[in-house]
Amino acid sequence: MFVSLIVRLLRLGLRDKPTRLKMPDRYRVTLDLRRIRPASDHLSVPEWLLKMGFSPTTEPDVWKTNEDRLGRVPQNAILKAEKL
């Protein structure tokens, strides 16, 4: 009985630790809103960006987002992207 207790404790101690998830890289992106969705209304583009996971900043046409969400925007609409 004592041996089984020690074996159980050793199993708990040697068990694989859960891997820590890497935080995604954040970017500050300057966008040309006219190139994102040319056929749509100019006022609907910021709403679409919010739905896609972008968050606005205090500066006009500058948004913050994760690296994986940059692919949702056409490459010709990205004027400047800097890693935070």
Would you kindly state where each structural domain of the chain is located, as residue ranges? 24-83
Give the pTM: 0.69
The CA–CA distances, whole Å, from 47 to 1, 37, 55 equal 64, 12, 10
What is the distance of C-alpha 53 from the center of its chain?
8
pLDDT in tens, 8-64: 877 777 776 677 777 778 999 999 988 988 887 777 899 999 999 999 999 989 999
* 70 touches 81 (CB < 8 A): yes
Indicate the residue type of 19: T
